[in-house]
Amino acid sequence: MSNVFPKLHNATWPGFVGKGPDSEPFISLDKMIDMTAKAEVNGKKFDGVDLFLSEPHVSIDSSKDDIKLLVDKLRANNLDAGSLVAPVWKDNGGGSAMGTNDDRKNFLIQVEKACKIGQKLKDLGVRPNGIVRIDSATDVKSWSENPIENTKLIADTFQKATNIAIDHGERLAAEGEICWGGMHSWKWMLRTLELTDREGHLGFQADLAHSMLYLLGYNAEEHRILPKDFSWDDKETFNIAYKEMTDALSPWTIDLHIAQNDGTVKGMGSHDKTGKHCLANDPNGKLDINHAASFWLKDSNGDLRKDIKHICWDGCMFPNSTLEDQSTWNIILDAMISVQDEYSW
């Protein structure tokens, strides 16, 4: 079983996304790793974690000693590192991908730092696969002031970022969330990827919860696929719509988050109208997780994709009482195992 792909990873960033002074306390990286390592279902455990390169978890300015401590921590818990989130936003030291020269320069600096950390983790033997995750670091309202030119600027920044990634043996993945300008609808996401024109080196990071909202046209009503009077019981209409979206984006997809969504959105800070994750067993969840995953884990011929070597559970903005309950992670692991069982190779 240890050789089964895709490997099963857990995201550590639910411990601090949406947390802080105006919310609940952060949950430490140590605690998130500990709960991930303790999760077990019928003898099966998580294979690794995906990491957010920002305080209070992993500093983007981590020293060699800091990285070594992280590696030791992962090894002690029999976990690999996987995909890494680059902190490209202004509040984290970056800047808008369509912003001023300084904004874009800072964006690229953060990408380079993230790629260097990824390279170190590979060299130290704990990161056999994974990408570096980015977004446009700009809101939809600012982008919409000049969609054509702003999308060109984002693509130009992404091109430069991809060149940096290539120099460090990394690939970048842009996560489709409806809160990021130029990435807020499936058609604009596709346009940004096509303009960047770095297929094989920059791709799409699909998240089941976020990408489902593309069908509903949040922040881009003109690109809505599902009808306004759609009923979630209408599986045939859903499948047709989901296929239209995934036929466009799946060929670009190089990283996949398993998640659940109840069909609503949640705004918090810069994440305006973003996907509201649900727990895997939430009765209000709209997705058949295994079925939705098939659109991303199989190619156009129906064959299993062997280029996606791990999948990661992503679920943010849950109360600490939920996140610190060990049973939560066993439930999530169980859902991940179900996906792996159906699409393993």
Q: 274-277: which pairs have CB atoms within 8 A and are 24 or more residues apart?
A: 274/177, 274/178, 274/179, 274/210, 275/177, 275/178, 275/207, 275/209, 275/210, 275/212, 275/213, 276/209, 276/317, 277/209, 277/314, 277/315, 277/316, 277/317, 277/318
Residues forming a β-bridge with 180: 139
pLDDT at 266 over 90: no
- Confidence (pLDDT) at 1: 45
**CB atoms < 10 A from the CB of 77, how many?**
17
Residue carrying the six token digits 């996906």: 339
- Confidence (pLDDT) at 264: 83
**Which token pair is 291?**
């079925």
pLDDT tens per residue, range 322-336: 999 999 999 999 999
Q: Where are the domains of the chain?
A: 7-343
pLDDT at 235 over 90: yes
**CB atoms < 10 A from the CB of 105, how many?**
14
Q: Among 100-104, 116-120, 212-216, 266-270, whose mean pLDDT is lowest?
A: 266-270
pLDDT tens per residue, range 70-89: 999 999 999 999 999 999 99
The CATH number of 7-343 is: 3.20.20.150
- Confidence (pLDDT) at 273: 63
